[in-house]
Amino acid sequence: MVSTDVTRPVDERAGVPVGPRDSTGYRLFTWLNAGVLVLVTVVILYPFVTLLAQSFSSSGAIKAGLVNALPVGFNLETYRVVAGDDRFWTSYGNTVLYTVVGTVIAMVLTTTFAYAISKPHLRGRNALIGIAVFTMFFNGGIIPNYVLISSLGMKNTMWALVLPGALSVFNLLVMKSFFENIPRELEEAAQIDGLGWFAIFTRIVLPLSKAVIATMILFYSVAYWNDWFTAFLYLDEDNLFPLSLFLRNLIAGATTTTAASAAAAGTTSAAISANIQAVTMILAIIPILCVYPFVQRHFVSGVMLGSVKG
């Protein structure tokens, strides 16, 4: 990574035409390339734009299918309604808490475990890796897991959400390969200077692994942020629900009113309107949306390093 940083400025200057002019074919290709990529971007962005437009529109306009890229019947009332709902903020707070605590625990476990099994001289290393990998392919199943969590007394606590998923074996293996590529000489030098294994880990290895750490943080936090299934399994009290479950409930409430619940001898206006859904979704994705661009440059290098050299 260090070497690419050094050479990049030279490469980047190629953008300024110095040599012979690019061939017509090449320029055509560049334009086409740009065109296709812009198209792809539009396709990706369009749902977000529609969602954003819906969040400012009236529910009648949404139902009539009039809302595309721009709001119809512009209003901020929906935002006011959603922001005024205590349950929304409770679940938002829960999600932030679960995500932060979960990611911290997951990172501690993953980095330490990965570092340990990245050392070839560790006795029983293969057995440890084997145990970890085994869980990728086999698991106890939902109900045994449920009974386990329940008898550990973790039901209706944060720990039921945070602990079972705290070590992702995939992330562990990516991290292990990354650590294996850190030159042994570096650690030997540190040892000669009198550092112990723990200090080597925290003061030499971790600072060198920022890219992969950033990536793992992103992986874990997105997973915790989006996770509704564990919450659905283990939580029975709605003041503990994370945003994902709140949102799912909201959307389920809206999409099924036409079928089952409206069938309840004619519930009329109980449907949660599309604009409330849109607002809640927008508010739910904003944090992740904000973090992504900043972590993304580490993201690519982090995953690639691990996978190619592993």
Partner 1 sequence: MKLDLTARLTHRAGRRLTALAAATALVGLAACSSGGSDDGDAGENDAAAMADYAADTTFKATEPVTFSMLWTDWPETPITDSWEVFDEIEERTNVSLDLTNIPFSDAVEKRSLLISSGDAPDIIPLIYTGDEQQFAASGAVLPLSDYEEHMPNFRKYVEEWDLGDMVDNLRQADGKYYMTPGLQEVSVPTFTLLIRKDIFDEVGAKVPETWDELRDGLEKIKAAYPDSTPLADGFEGASMLNYAAHAFGTVAGWGFGNGTFYDEDSGEFVYAATSDGYKDMVEYFHGLVEDGLLDTESFTAANDGSGTVTEKFAAGQVFAASGANGTVNDFSTALDATVGKGNYEVVQIAPPGGEAGQVVEPRNFWNGFMLTSEAKNHPNFIAMLQFLDWLYYSPEARDLLRWGVEGETYTKTDGKYTLNPEFSLDAFSINPDAQTDILKDLGYSNDVLAGSTESRALKESYNAPQYVEYIDSVLSTRTPRDPFPPAPLDETELEQASLLATPLKDTVDTNTLRFILGERPLSEWDAYVGELESQNLQGYLDLINGARERYADENG
Residues that bind partner 1 (CB under 8 A): 58-61, 63-66, 72-73, 87, 141-143, 146-147, 150, 229, 232-233, 236-238, 241, 245, 248-253, 255-272
Joined tokens for residue 222: 């997105």
Please, which residue, 64 or 69, has the CB nearer to partner 1?
64
Cα dist from 70 to 41, 57, 82, 190, 227, whole Å: 18, 9, 21, 59, 31
Q: In the bound complex, what is the minimum distance in angstroms from residue 23's beta carbon to partner 1? A: 48
Please, which residue, 213 or 284, has the CB nearer to partner 1?
284
List the end-to-end C-alpha distance of the chain, in Å, as a whole number: 16
- Give the list of residues 6+ apart from residue 272 with CB closer than 8 angstroms, or none: 250, 251, 253, 254, 257
Yes or no: say if 232 and 74 are a contact pair by the CB < 8 Å rule: no
Please, which residue, 167 or 251, has the CB nearer to partner 1?
251
User: What percent of the residues of the chain are helix, what percent strand, and what percent coil, each to the nearest 5?
Assistant: 75, 0, 25
Please, which residue, 111 or 280, has the CB nearer to partner 1?
280
- Give the list of residues 6+ apart from residue 247 with CB closer than 8 angstroms, or none: 228, 280, 281, 284
The Cα–Cα gap between 134 and 303 comes to 22
Q: In the bound complex, what is the minimum distance in angstroms from residue 157's beta carbon to partner 1? A: 15
Q: In the bound complex, what is the minimum distance in angstroms from residue 264's beta carbon to partner 1? A: 5
Q: In the bound complex, what is the minimum distance in angstroms from residue 96's beta carbon to partner 1? A: 20
Please, which residue, 90 or 301, has the CB nearer to partner 1?
90
Q: In the bound complex, what is the minimum distance in angstroms from residue 292's beta carbon to partner 1? A: 25
